[in-house]
A and B are shown apart, each in its own frame.
Chain A
């Protein structure tokens, strides 16, 4: 029995802070629209920076392009906030959704990638000759970042197609793909 996941759903459902907004007629739709705007900001700035690391647009100085990154971070923060709003309103549609699991995993990998990028290759970018290729680690970080965020977008879009249905009596397995019901013998 996915005890942890069921506890998570119950706890999240108890957070009523944004319920009046999310349950209003246009609340959910507005939240989704803002979520999409956030993703566009992220792709347009961080995606472009990743492409620059990979060698596209060599005449643009890397560190100058880096000045747009805060807008991508703003997009990310917007999406965390709106994402949490979805999560606390309909937790069982996400906690038991394998597409959501993959999405979270890719966000975590992207986060690790960012940490590694700033810890190691970033400082070398300042001493790079104009137009010279960045160090291999920076290029790898750019590629990983791009792959992660595109997968995150795809997983987000696939959420509705992997939405779990109520489980039958056998209950969910290790990767919970259905929502446990209160059958005899289960929690």
Chain B
């Protein structure tokens, strides 16, 4: 693992750290963006889009998630102390988990329950919670760079 760690941290190639970060950003755009689009639809915007078709979006969502999980692991391998000693990191992971719970609830409960395209109020609550979760996950992720206390040694 130390070899991977050094590669992430020290490689001068643009395809190492910079590319990992860029892919992580794109994955973030996919997961948070698509979840935002679904949440906005559940909340009632663009009502002529059939809600049942939102099912087509979930494979893309999971692609984005796994892209970020994998790039995230590489980032963690590069700077483990920096992340694991930062409470903000655990907050971010918790928010991502909550966001995924909201995403799954929308897929399994809210969308099937919206038979005639009208969404029960509980569904709208979950959609609003989804928006808050993903926006907060983005923010905590960004704040990681500003809140860490230790870089490489404990």
Contacts and interface: CB of A to CB of B under 8 A. Distances in A.
Contact of B49 (A26, A41, A60): A60
Main secondary structure of the interface of B (DSSP, over half): helix
Given A33-B138, A44-B29, A61-B48, A161 B143 contact: no
B25 A157 contact: yes
A41 B36 contact: yes
Contacts of A56: 56
A98 B47 CA distance: 43
Interface in B30-89: 30, 32-37, 40-41, 45-50, 53, 56-57
B146 A29 contact: yes
Interface string B110-143: 0000000000000000000000001100110111
A154 to B, nearest CB: 5
Interface string A50-89: 0000001101110111011001000000000000000000
Interface string A23-43: 000100110110011011111
B96 interface: no
Nearest to A47: B33
A150 to B, nearest CB: 6
A48 B57 CA distance: 9
22 contacts: A26-B146, A29-B146, A37-B138, A40-B28, A40-B33, A44-B35, A47-B30, A47-B33, A57-B56, A64-B48, A67-B46, A67-B49, A68-B37, A68-B40, A71-B36, A71-B40, A150-B26, A153-B25, A153-B26, A154-B25, A157-B18, A157-B25
Interface of A: 26, 29-30, 32-33, 36-37, 39-45, 47-48, 56-57, 59-61, 63-65, 67-68, 71, 150, 153-154, 156-158, 161
